Structure 1
Amino acid sequence: MANVDFFLQGVHPTTTAYNEINNLFASTPSNIIFSTAYLRSNAVLAFHTQLSRFSSNTTFYVDVDNGVTSYQALAELYNLGVNLFTVDTGSLDIIYHPKVYLAQSSGSALIIVGSSNFTGAGLTRNFEGNVVLSLDLTNTDDQNLMNTFINSFNDLVTNHPHNVTQINNISDLDALFLSGKLEDEHTAPRMSTSTTSTSRTSTGPSSTIPRIRPSIPATRLTSSTIAAPSTGTAPSTGTAPSTGTATRTLVWRKENLAQSDAQYVPPGSSSNRTGNLRLAQAQFRVAGVLIDKNTYFRNDVFGALTWGWITSTKESATATFTLDLAGTLLGPYNLVISHNLNRIAGQANVPTILHWGEFGPLLQAHDYRHYNLELYQDSPTNFHIRIYR
């Protein structure tokens, strides 16, 4: 029989949506469904390890064209290899709003239903109310309730084929961004210029997405006629940021930097700094598949650079990098990447190396061991590195 609990995040002394969602992964679930109105990359990255482990069993349903859901968040999910659906209601006055986090295991299920969006604020900071259902799937009523959840999301996809889209390629996300339906976390939010209720925040053509039709017609409720006090002239809404291509793409992450990668030498040690960052696999996945460290960096990430042979087995190239060092933006600098064919053989060897160059002394000024590092690609020859805790 189902066990039902409730917590009010922001009031409960210990419980947050983040904690409860983390519990979903404890029982090795065979089926995971996450549904959210708003999605931001900080929430996705907070559960990167768990979602990566269960990516093939995980399905996300995410509302778009709402002024919050971002390109970066959806791109992170796509790179993890989860089953990803976006929901576009085609209307300003109807949004896809269910916040449901479900994990089904053998004989049991855990479901969280409430107000928490899959954003950093929704999971940890906002005042949110959520119900936690613990189901015993050997109980008929619990199994029927579980089936209701699953069938409802299946019906969402089946009944609204023009509004619910499965993301099968990163170009699908590019198209959503360019049509104004996704936010760029690195710029200010877009401002809606729509004067009707037929479109939402997007600046692209809204006619391609028909207005979604709920199964039960809406009841028109009467609004108040009370006038708000005058505030004078309304402020200008400003100019919306340019809808350029979302170019910053995460291409690698390395967690818990080792001493050599962080360029740290303990006081009194006779060790020498390597001056290098080893571009290892680091359990990084693209579209759910672990990268091949022997080819990924040389051919995919840095493949567009101009490479030249240093020796008969070692080649190098130069690219432009900026660095976000624990919140301080540095650069740009030209750094060298080298690729050594002799290091391809052998499981422990890493053939591709980033040479820290002018960044080296900046790293050496502080102990960055156990920090995390992310490598982003801004263009074929321009990159960005973020080092953070």
Structure 2
Amino acid sequence: MNSELIWNSTLSELERGYIEKDEFYVCICCGKSFEKGIIYPEDGVLYETEKYVRVHLEKKHGSAFEYLISLDKSFTGLSEIQSNLLKLFYQGKSDKEVQQELGIGSTSTVRNHRFVLKEKERQAKVFLAIMELLRTRDKHAPAMLKVQGSSKDDRYRITETEKEKVLAKYFPAGTNGQLKSFGMREKQKLIILNELSKRFEPERIYAEKEVNEILSAAFEDFALLRRYLVEYGFMNRQPDGSEYWLGGPATEQEENRVDRKQELKLMAKEVKIQAGVYQIKNTKNGKIYVDSTPNLKSINGQEFSLEMGSHMCKKLQQEWSEMGKENFVIEVLETVKEKEGVRLDMKDTLKKMKEKWLEELQPFGDRGYN
């Protein structure tokens, strides 16, 4: 779990379960990155990046709610009974069902818990507003030091003031000089190791002898510093100790992700992407849902979302769940015809094409789900 991802996410990002960056989407639950512009295959279906992130969330984590509610009290502020209640409320259980499943008091007890949680929600809104307003005025709030390579939890968050005091104490001649000693508390070690790591150049490979020379200029027991830099993730090394470099260890998972990214890029080049408009039609009552996509090969993902109960169109989702997928068909209505040498504004083209079909089919009210 990456606590920084959680703390640095906005409320809306936490609700949807992922963050959008310039070139990637990042899953808040596991930290996995998904590069934009790549077509991702899953169970024989090809997905655009953002839709694939949603598929990943559902398949690997259940939902953003399920992940967040599983976090411990230091993140949620919820007691065990409150977490269990919210899980059952999320499942749509009635007060009586919740009372029977948890074996607590009576239905009035459950209703009282609902009231307490609702009150907690209201208070949280006010508190967030207060802190947001304070942020614009409080010039004395401590800034937090980001410690490179550290996997420690929030107990080891370090303010600039703390950092300056520790560095002044253990580097009396300045941070480029000698280290006075290395027998200190954990938090102080992190500050010292973070500072020592600055003596190495990013993306440069060092022989062990070079590392020893740099560290011996700071402290007599350079082997001790070298070992701690590696153990705390400030440096990485080859198993035989022949090479060292800055940064945390590259895990097998990360290496596989890079290889997979290259594979998907090649696959994306080979797949001819066709944009267009499609409909999901209820063959029982004739209702339809119309939408557009820059990649028609991904429309089977609509069926996946409907089967998972997470489709964005609630009316369509409700009837799909009630009537079953055998009573629905997904059909392509029109594809975008691209002319060689002519660059289309695909977003605008799809918008106009969808509007044309909405006007023609009128899938509103009793006639559809739009």
TM-score of Structure 1 vs Structure 2, range by shorter chain: under 0.3
Question: With structure 1 as the length reference, what TM-score do the two structures score?
Answer: 0.26
Please state which structure has a larger fraction of its residues in strand: 1
Richer in helix (by share): 2
- The TM-score normalised by the length of structure 2 is 0.27
Larger radius of gyration between Structure 1 and Structure 2: 2
Higher relative CO (Cα under 8 Å, sequence separation at least 6) belongs to 1
